[in-house]
């Protein structure tokens, strides 16, 4: 366990800081100090302090840009903008290395050519989770498992931020649920076909366990998000 994991845990121990981190994460993009302060109902200076502490802990990344979107003379000075860090942090006491175990198991699966058995196990696990949470909102279930669902209309127009838009994802209109985070990101970087196949079957099993159309889940890989998307209706 390295010091950065401890720093991250300490940073999130503060309730205001934790709310700010959740807000930045759910926004799906870059957030300014004023925007964050307004969203949480706190002073801008307080938001700035806590956002910088999150950056120091490696939980958010900082860039500079024009909050107004304007450029040129009179558009104001570039401001600090914050977005969720790509870096993964974990804290286990005593130290554990589940990622190493996952890599070894994935290597064994590829060498042994037993991907079909892996997919079957993933489908069964997803089915179990879905059945256990059959009456829970799908968006909330996905969010709890780290997928960060975001509802997007066909044509690319987003329905507000991820937290607000995803709540309406059960409507009968067109569009899809994109998953802005892959819970298996580290594994997917090394074994992409294996991890993405596992993910697809896990989500299809989850839908099946809830009595929903498994065809809603399909592969649609793109940079910066999970390789699987879920259609909002049965026409995907």
pLDDT at 116 over 50: yes
All residues at 6 or more sequence positions from 39 whose CB lies less than 8 Å from its CB, including other chains? 23
pLDDT at 35: 94
Region 105-125 average pLDDT: 94
Note the pLDDT tens digit of each residue in 147-168.
989 888 865 444 444 444 444 4
Average pLDDT, the chain: 83
pLDDT at 70: 52
Note the pLDDT tens digit of each residue in 32-72.
999 999 999 999 999 999 999 999 988 899 998 876 555 55
Instruction: Write b or e for each residue in 144-167: b if 16 or more Cβ atoms lie within 10 A of its Cβ, otherwise e.
Output: ebebbbbbbeeeeeebebbbebbb
Evaluate whether 194 touches 115 at the Cβ level (below 8 Å). yes
Domains of the chain, first to last: 3-84 (1.10.10.10), 98-231 (no CATH)
């Amino acid at each position: 366990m390295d010091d950065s994991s401890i720093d991250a845990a300490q940073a999130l121990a503060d309730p205001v800081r934790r709310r700010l981190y959740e807000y930045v994460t759910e926004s799906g993009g870059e957030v300014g100090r004023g925007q964050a302060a307004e969203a949480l109902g706190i002073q801008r200076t307080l938001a700035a302090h806590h956002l910088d502490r999150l950056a120091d802990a490696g939980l958010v990344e900082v860039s500079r840009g024009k909050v107004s979107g304007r450029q040129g003379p009179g558009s104001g000075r570039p401001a600090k903008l914050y977005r969720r860090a790509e870096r993964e942090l974990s804290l286990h006491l005593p130290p554990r290395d589940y990622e190493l175990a996952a890599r070894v198991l994935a290597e064994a699966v590829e060498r042994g050519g037993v991907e079909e058995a892996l997919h079957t196990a993933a489908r069964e696990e997803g089915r179990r989770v879905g059945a256990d949470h059959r009456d829970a909102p799908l968006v909330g279930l996905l969010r709890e498992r780290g997928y960060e669902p975001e509802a997007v209309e066909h044509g690319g127009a987003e329905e507000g931020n991820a937290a607000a838009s995803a709540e309406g994802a059960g409507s009968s209109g067109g569009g899809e649920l994109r998953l802005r985070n892959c819970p298996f990101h580290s594994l997917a970087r090394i074994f992409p076909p294996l991890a993405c196949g596992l993910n697809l079957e896990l989500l299809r099993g989850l839908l099946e366990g809830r009595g929903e159309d498994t065809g809603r889940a399909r592969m649609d890989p793109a940079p910066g998000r999970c390789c699987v998307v879920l259609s909002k209706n049965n026409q995907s």
